[in-house]
A = this chain, B = another copy of it.
Amino acid sequence: MSSTFGTLFRVTTFGESHCKAVGAVVDGCPPGMELSAEDIQPQLDRRRPGQSHLTTPRNEADQVQILSGTEGGLTLGTPIGLTVANKDQRPRDYGSMSQVPRPSHADYTYRAKYGIHAASGGGRSSARETIGRVAAGAIAEKYLRQVFDIEVVAYVSSVGTVDAPQIDLATLDRPAVDASMVRCPDAEAAAEMEAAIVAAKEDQDSLGGVITCVCRNVPVGLGEPVFDKLEATLAQAMLSLPATKGFEIGSGFAGTRLRGSEHNDRFVMKGERLGTATNNSGGIQGGISNGEPIVFRVAFKPTATIGIAQTTVDLDGNEVSLSAEGRHDPCVLPRAVPIVESMAALVLADMALVQKMRV
């Protein structure tokens, strides 16, 4: 009941780790837009496992198939059905752990909620669920680029205790992000982050981090006051991603330590339009985009599934030592970059369509 997101540009996802296929239905994509699998595949490739030694060795092609909603290479305005086959269906992998809920994972809560639990893998809490989001997000992005020239770029701004320096968000692009395996555009920080991940991996441990995302060329006026403020919807979108623990727009938590006179974004003329001298607002005021770049940060916890032995209890309350044996990313951040971009695109596409309603 919660697998649908959006009001007019609407995505519904489906699929677990080890079922036949995962996918999405995108309803409300405007008609007459050129669309083929080639528009979608690149972001899926950035998301898929096995891209480098930093990520899980599950080597899945993750080829998207468009089932419906286009004809002759153009969108029809009808729902776009998208599937990606699950090539790697090994439901027995985690069998031994079925009586031991993994710490900080969804095993226990799913079981409590549903009275049943996908025997293997993370079910809907698996990162694999995000494939449908990324496929849908790629369509949203294409719409945003074509109609508004909107650019959405995310990067890894910290891994564990390694922080990237300030990045120029006005010019950042995906090639710069993808220059390092860890998807941090600062080469030096990237190298440190990579080393940290390798070290954690060797320790059978894991790391978290932060992704920063910028959305440029967003027109003024997107976002709905009150409950669907643009930042509120972005926050929902980001906290709906597995392993996320926090969201900041603009100055975020750091901004709470400034005085109003320091924090306020004074208006200035930027060519023909009103802009702001600073961007503590992160491109949003009163829930509505103001024409400045939208900038937000998303916190990801360290991967919960780790090889190190953990003392915990099984469902009967017996103390046990648990060492995960599955294939898991020691750090999800690099692969989460396109996922964050996709959710941002879904939010903006929906808000753009809703805003069109204004007389």
In the assembled complex, the CB of A252 is this many whole angstroms from the nearest CB of chain B, namely 4
Question: How far apart are the CA atoms of A105 and B299 in the complex, in Å?
Answer: 27
In the assembled complex, the CB of A222 is this many whole angstroms from the nearest CB of chain B, namely 8
With A16-B78, A253-B245, A266-B311 known as contacts, the answer to whether A25 contacts B1 (CB < 8 A) is: no
Which A187-244 residues have a C-beta within 8 angstroms of B?
200, 203, 205-210, 220-221, 223-229, 231-240, 242, 244
Question: How far apart are the CA atoms of A248 and B7 in the complex, in Å?
Answer: 26
A27 at the interface (CB under 8 A from B): yes
Are A67 and B81 neighbours in the complex by a CB distance under 8 Å? Answer: no
Contact pick for A221, options B9, B112, B206, B249, CB 8 Å: B112
User: Which stretch from A44-52, A55-63, A170-178, A312-320 is at the chain B interface?
Assistant: A312-320
Residues of B within 8 A of A106 (CB): 225, 285-288
Are B355 and A258 neighbours in the complex by a CB distance under 8 Å? Answer: no
Residue of B nearest to A265 (CB): B104
Residue of B nearest to A346 (CB): B227
Question: How far apart are the CA atoms of A83 and B151 in the complex, in Å?
Answer: 34
A–B Cβ pairs within 8 angstroms, 22 of them: A3-B79, A12-B27, A19-B70, A20-B65, A76-B117, A104-B285, A108-B274, A115-B358, A123-B225, A160-B259, A203-B259, A203-B261, A206-B260, A206-B261, A208-B256, A235-B236, A251-B301, A260-B304, A260-B308, A261-B310, A263-B301, A354-B357
Are A267 and B227 neighbours in the complex by a CB distance under 8 Å? Answer: no
Are A81 and B23 neighbours in the complex by a CB distance under 8 Å? Answer: yes
Residues of B within 8 A of A231 (CB): 239, 244-245
Are A290 and B109 neighbours in the complex by a CB distance under 8 Å? Answer: yes
Are B108 and A285 neighbours in the complex by a CB distance under 8 Å? Answer: yes
Are B68 and A14 neighbours in the complex by a CB distance under 8 Å? Answer: yes
The 7 A-B residue pairs with the shortest CB-CB distance in the complex, in nearest-first order? A106-B286, A2-B224, A2-B228, A206-B260, A109-B288, A236-B236, A14-B79
Question: How far apart are the CA atoms of A316 and B115 in the complex, in Å?
Answer: 39
Residues of B within 8 A of A255 (CB): 208, 245, 299, 301-302
With A123-B78, A207-B260, A263-B208 known as contacts, the answer to whether A110 contacts B299 (CB < 8 A) is: no
Question: How far apart are the CA atoms of A16 and B70 in the complex, in Å?
Answer: 9
In the assembled complex, the CB of A325 is this many whole angstroms from the nearest CB of chain B, namely 15
**Taking each of A76, A124, A227, A258, which has the highest tally of chain B beta carbons within 10 Å of its own beta carbon?**
A227
Residue of B nearest to A300 (CB): B256
Residues of B within 8 A of A205 (CB): 259-261
Residues of B within 8 A of A210 (CB): 253, 256
With A228-B2, A239-B232, A260-B306 known as contacts, the answer to whether A19 contacts B67 (CB < 8 A) is: yes
Residues of B within 8 A of A281 (CB): 104
Residue of B nearest to A257 (CB): B161
Residues of B within 8 A of A65 (CB): 20
Residues of B within 8 A of A115 (CB): 31-32, 358
Are B245 and A245 neighbours in the complex by a CB distance under 8 Å? Answer: no
Are A246 and B252 neighbours in the complex by a CB distance under 8 Å? Answer: yes
A15 at the interface (CB under 8 A from B): yes
Are B4 and A7 neighbours in the complex by a CB distance under 8 Å? Answer: no
